[in-house]
Amino acid sequence: MTRRAWWLLALNFVVPGSAQLLAGNRRWGRFAVGATFTLWAIAVIAIVVFALWRPVALTLATNVVVLWAAQLGLIFYAALWLLTTLNAFTTLKLVRTRPGARLPIALATVLSLVLATGSAAAAAYYTGVGRDALTAVFAGGGLVEPIDGRYTVLLLGGDAGDDRIGLRPDSISLVSIDAATGATTMIGLPRNMYHVPFREGSPLWTAWPTGYDCGDDCLLAYLYPWAEEHPELYPDAERQGSTPAIEAMKDAVAGVTGLPVQFAVLIDMAGFETLIDALGGVRVTVEETVQICANGEPVVGEIAAGEQVMNGETALWYARSRCNLTDFDRMQHQRDIQEAMLQQLDPTTVITRFEAIADASADLASTDIPQSMLGVFADLAAQSREHEIRRLELVPPTIDNLYPDWALILQLVAEATAPLPSPTPTP
């Protein structure tokens, strides 16, 4: 009877319902075993789909309806595991086992309850957390095709601090991604670029036919608050999950680079700090020692040269400090942080810190990227790790921000986003 008890307990842990099939209510056992095999079949199908059609698998895994179904299924399975384990314990006939084995068997039952039911319940909980985070951040809509074989995403680092009037993007980057290989180019635009042109047909063309050219009040970053005050230029922006200010920045960056801008992500600097802490810090190589201070304030510390693991507060200072630094230096620092985060946001980190990352992401960003595109971008992100990120900074001395050479910019952008050469076959 002691051996029987251990076998029944072990079998129920591996296949809920098997104990009932052998020594209990067989109808209940058939139902539980059938449910278990169904879950295993779904898991095997998911693994096969991921191995053969990764974008499809990732798209399904980020679909709200699929996540709701998965959460309900996991809750059902957690309850099933709980009930079958408790029922199996009554089937063991503990009083007929050896006295010395009764306590270990009882403890093993409790442990199996914690491991089995607890893991299924935790998976259900984290599925809900992920679904809520995706719903909070990403927009609705269907799949979007690449343009000329590439996807483009505008990254705006917004800063609406106490010393600012409204929000102005301090960090402006256009990410261009090869839709076939995942090869990525990051194009940095200075916030203080003058005379930004707009394409004919843009709503801004009517207001600024010769470009954004009203002097020091018309820097590229200042277009954001200006567009917020003129929502009539983009009446459909809100309905499309965007804002007039973001649509204006898209048009401006498209006018500068010659590339159509499909999506935009606005990153809040305070949320940026929270996300880095959720990641457990970010590893950055600091070329020269950076002093820490706010604009016009005394120095309060420094970030030493060399490889540093920065927490959120330090990383934010590295990206924002104005001590003896130009706007172009800060642009470079912001790009360093962005690239480090892209490289270090690996699956292990996401899994082990999932809840903190999900909570931080909900407060970090707003975007018009449809949730249906997440599978595509997740697959491209995995492919991009096989290539070095190409960086193009449209700053002095290459590009004069006061009097930009637009023809040279178009040439540099075309070179930076050209497809990578095919690898030479090994003889």
pLDDT of residue 249: 94
Q: At residue 163, does pLDDT exceed 50?
A: no
Q: Which amino acid is at 403?
A: Y
Stretch 267-272: mean pLDDT: 72
Q: At residue 24, does pLDDT exceed 90?
A: no
Alpha helices in 203-293 (DSSP H): 203-207, 223-228, 244-257, 269-279
Distance CA 290, CA 411 (A): 33
pLDDT of residue 347: 55
**Residue with the larger pLDDT of the pair 74 and 335:** 74
pLDDT in tens, 104-141: 888 888 888 888 888 888 888 888 887 887 777 777 77
Q: List the helix and strand counts (H, then E) for the chain.
A: 17, 10
Alpha helices in 151-243 (DSSP H): 203-207, 223-228
Region of poorest pLDDT, from 45-54, 188-197, 223-232: 45-54
Region of poorest pLDDT, from 206-220, 353-367, 393-407: 353-367
pLDDT of residue 165: 45
Beta carbons of 368 and 264 less than 8 angstroms apart: yes
Region of poorest pLDDT, from 10-19, 133-142, 284-293: 133-142
Q: 155: left (phi > 0), else alpha (psi -120 to 50), else beta? A: beta
**Cβ neighbours around 83 below 10 Å, total:** 15
Beta carbons of 374 and 145 less than 8 angstroms apart: no
* Displacement of CA 420 from its chain's centroid (Å): 25
* Displacement of CA 383 from its chain's centroid (Å): 15
Q: At residue 348, does pLDDT exceed 70?
A: no
Beta carbons of 251 and 242 less than 8 angstroms apart: no
Q: 157: left (phi > 0), else alpha (psi -120 to 50), else beta? A: beta
pTM: 0.72
